Amino acid sequence: MTGSMALPSLMTTLIPWAISSVLLILAVLAVRWLTRDRLSSVNRYALWLVVLIRLLIPIQLPFLSSLGAVDLAPQMENTPVYAFPTGHMDAPERYIQHIREEQGEDPVMSAGVTSRSFPALGGIGFDYYNGGTILEENGYTDYAFFSTVPRILSILWGAGALVMLLCLVGNNLRFAARLRRSRRPLDIPQCPLPVYRMEGLSSPCLSGLFHPAIYLTPEVAENETALRHVLTHEGTHYAHKDHIWSALRCTALALHWYDPLVWLAVSLSKADGELACDEGAVRRLGEEERIPYGRTLVDMVAQRSLRPADLLSCSTTMAGGGKCIQQRVALLVKKPETRATAIFGACTALALAAVFTFGGGGPSPYSYTGYVAAVEASWSIHLAPPFTSSTWYPAIEDQEALKKARSILLQAEAYDKNGETTAFGFSEMIPVCYGLKLSSGTDITRFYLYPASTGLLYVLPYLDATTSGTVPVATLPDSTISQLKELANAQQQALDSGIAYDQFCSQIQQASAIQVTPPSRFSVSYPEPITAPSLLEAGRADLLCARAPTPQEARRRWNEDDLSRDAYQITLTLSSGQTAPYLLYQPGGLSWKSGGENLVYVLSGDSLQPIGVLDTYAVQALVGWAEQQKGHQNNPVPLTPEELAYFNDGSFFDNGTGNGGDAYLHFSIRNMFLTSQYDTPQDIDLFELFYCGSAQPSTPMSQEERQLVIDRGYHGTAPPCGCTKITRQEMDAVLLEHTGLTLEETRQVGLEQFTYLPEYDAYYHFHGDTNYTFPIFSQGFRQGDLIHLDYGDCMLTLRQTGNSYQFYSNRSLTAFPE
């Protein structure tokens, strides 16, 4: 308002706060829906934490400025609201026209402001409007009531929040007083919280913010099973600090009382809290109590359904509506587990929370701070030579090169505008200036780098031909240009490698055969190229996993002796009949050791320049297909009845114990190799393989060791079953004997499901009795040194090594190559 003093309002904070909260809730709802069957209840409940933080922290977000959210309040500030005219004065038309020329569209000529302070509160006070004068068609009118839209909305919000807070406090104080009047203490020594019995209580609950206690209905107190379940449930609420989260959740609801999405979020988070509590309670009670616990929940539904007023209650109640109980019981039965995609979804929500809650402001793009911000945020740095030069440099986009380029440009010092005040004009600087384009997504900031005769490099704002002059924003060392050129040239080398990489990918798709030649130090050979259709397709797929090298990777070189000793050679036979040779080289030798370099470089057979990068697993898979091609060159020979009987009568699966291999009665580690499906021995599920142990002599487990497993892997609650220990040495012994690999040479599939104690270098797992039977093989045949055994819809493949056998694969028959 030009004719009056505009009092500040809360809307500049409330509007972006509300919009960002809505966007965040929608994001969490989307993640929650996408991971509904793949995220444990505890992790799903944790998603709401980021929403709670946003709802309680009113930080103004510059991110929303681009959406117009923050600018909405100033626009609203110019919208007056007035009523109850107290007087009118006519005015000449030319006077009205004069006022309008001065004020534009603003009709407010003046507004009275009154200040009110309270000395008893340290002088705290507030300002308010006490009327205003409005310009109209034929004069101006005084109004008793005058305000602005943001001020009115701020007052409405404040009044609503105050009413909600009063209801929140009153409701919970009234309930607490009722509990204190009617409760009767119960002596339950094993419970860490006070426990009370209360008549007329609709549901057991945990109540109390500073001194929480558990309150039980008479029916629960008299039922031993229900009592155990309820105490565990409410104890889990206490362990989760849900009595604190409930209070914060209610506070957030009071602050955002106007937003239906917040009401929905509070309702869903409260329900998710109960589901998380159910999950934690069952974990404490043990798996055998899962079904009885569900029955206890079903008994609760008849006592009381969820009411809207419960959203303002800071107490945690075990009861719920029929639909809620049905969902909780269904999840108890389903027992969902967290998966990688669900973790990704949760991390996405946390990233959004960081953007919405902790976003920072953006300085003017053509100031020193703006220059620094643009450099730090850049995804691409492009140096352009003066227009008189024919040289061209590619954009610096590789992460390592980009990091170095940022470091070079951040050596800039702010230009002292109080010193030399020389302004550089377009015509003077454009013939010698280098262009600098800083890109971050859709945002592009341009500067000129002007090499002055003083030895400094001036950073100038981007200009065009209509600009008369400019003042530098920063200065850089004169070596900056040459350093950026070097990085850009390295980027060009990477682009050249990229062209060769594209050609490599094209040749793979055309390949009608893939010849694999091991390094010279290996005794194994693969005389025949991979040509079997299914094996060739698998080999192409493995090689197409290669990515283009980074600029740093493209510059790497190795001596020919190392390549001859350690590199695989692959020769692609193209559809035209031509061949294309490449080398596959891993510095340090091909292995899966975590301490070594886990990348394999694809080298051009002519220049030995890296043109691609593969994972070691892809190369090992390619070698596996070459191994299987050797088997394809031999006609399959059916096993004789005596040979097949060796695998069916337990002679093989007894693992030398002489017990006949009956896994229902005796443990056989060989039998455990059939508990998962795998294409290569590197893919064996180690959790399934060692589920019942290693069948090796093992060091006894100490009580201290067992307690460490419980604390680190089972949240301090011991499962009601035995614990198996498998040392790394035992795993290596089993794997070496039965696959020829060590633990480090596998992909370690399923290993994360064990609890690992580094101080003992051992893996642990609590489990009940689990027995696997050995299969009955319907037929078998031999191809070279491979033996294929059919059972059910699967095929077990063994490799004969002397008088013994090693496990090679265990796959569905439909996946076995023709």
Which of 366-370, 400-404, 569-573, 692-696 has the largest mean confidence?
Answer: 569-573
Task: Give pLDDT, residue 65.
Answer: 41
Lowest mean pLDDT among 32-36, 301-305, 531-535: 301-305
Q: Are 331 and 38 in contact (CB under 8 A)?
A: no
Task: Give pLDDT, residue 628.
Answer: 79
Residues 6+ apart with CB under 8 A from 728: 743, 761, 762, 763
Q: What is the pLDDT of residues 687-698, one digit of tens each?
A: 999 998 888 777
Which of 532-546, 751-765, 771-785 has the largest mean confidence?
Answer: 751-765
Q: Mark out the alpha helices in 526-566 (DSSP H runs).
A: 533-543, 551-554, 560-566
State which amino acid sits at residue 726: I
| C-alpha to C-alpha distance for 433 and 430, rounded to whole angstroms | 5
Q: What is the pLDDT of residues 472-511, one digit of tens each?
A: 888 999 899 999 988 887 766 655 555 678 888 888 988 9
Residue of 721, 726, 749, 752 lying closest to 667 (CA atoms) = 726
For 183, the 3-state DSSP assignment is strand
Task: Give pLDDT, residue 68.
Answer: 40
Residue of 594, 601, 593, 592 lying closest to 620 (CA atoms) = 592
Judged against a pLDDT cut of 50, whether residue 432 lies above it is answered with yes
Q: Confidence class of residue 816 from pLDDT cuts 50, 70 and 90?
A: very low
Judged against a pLDDT cut of 50, whether residue 72 lies above it is answered with no
DSSP state of 678: B
The percent of residues above 90 in pLDDT, for the chain, comes to 10
Backbone phi and psi for residue 488, each to the nearest 5 degrees, phi listed first: -65, -40
Task: Give pLDDT, residue 204.
Answer: 87
Task: Give pLDDT, residue 5.
Answer: 38
Tokens of 30: 């989307």
Residue of 735, 683, 671, 721 lying closest to 287 (CA atoms) = 721
Beta-carbon neighbour count of residue 149 at 10 Å? 17
Lowest mean pLDDT among 346-360, 545-559, 582-596, 634-648: 346-360
For 244, the 3-state DSSP assignment is helix
Judged against a pLDDT cut of 50, whether residue 818 lies above it is answered with no
Query: Across all residues in the chain, what is the average pLDDT?
Result: 76
The percent of residues above 70 in pLDDT, for the chain, comes to 69
Measured between alpha carbons, how far apart are the two ends of the chain, in Å? 82
Compute and round to an integer the Cα radius of gyration of the chain. Answer: 37
Backbone phi and psi for residue 186, each to the nearest 5 degrees, phi listed first: -120, 140
Task: Give pLDDT, residue 514.
Answer: 92
Judged against a pLDDT cut of 50, whether residue 66 lies above it is answered with no
b/e map of 367-401 (b: 16 or more CB within 10 Å)?
Answer: ebebbbbbbeebebbbbbbbeeeeeebbbbbbeeb
**Model confidence pTM above 0.85:** no
Average pLDDT of span 433-459: 82
Judged against a pLDDT cut of 80, whether residue 409 lies above it is answered with yes
Q: What is the pLDDT of residues 653-687, one digit of tens each?
A: 765 554 544 544 457 888 889 989 888 888 899 99
DSSP state of 694: -
Residue of 520, 596, 597 lying closest to 564 (CA atoms) = 520
Average pLDDT of span 197-201: 85
Q: Confidence class of residue 707 from pLDDT cuts 50, 70 and 90?
A: very high
Q: Are 694 and 730 in contact (CB under 8 A)?
A: yes
Query: Could you give all domains of the chain from N- to C-terminal order, each with its CATH number?
Result: 368-478 (2.60.40), 489-632 (no CATH), 637-815 (no CATH)
DSSP state of 418: T
Task: Give pLDDT, residue 424.
Answer: 61
Better-scored residue on pLDDT, 234 or 139: 234
Question: Exposed, middle or buried: residue 417 (CB in 10 Å: 0-12, 13-18, 19+)?
Answer: exposed
| C-alpha to C-alpha distance for 214 and 208, rounded to whole angstroms | 9
Q: What is the pLDDT of residues 726-756, one digit of tens each?
A: 999 999 999 999 998 899 888 899 999 999 9
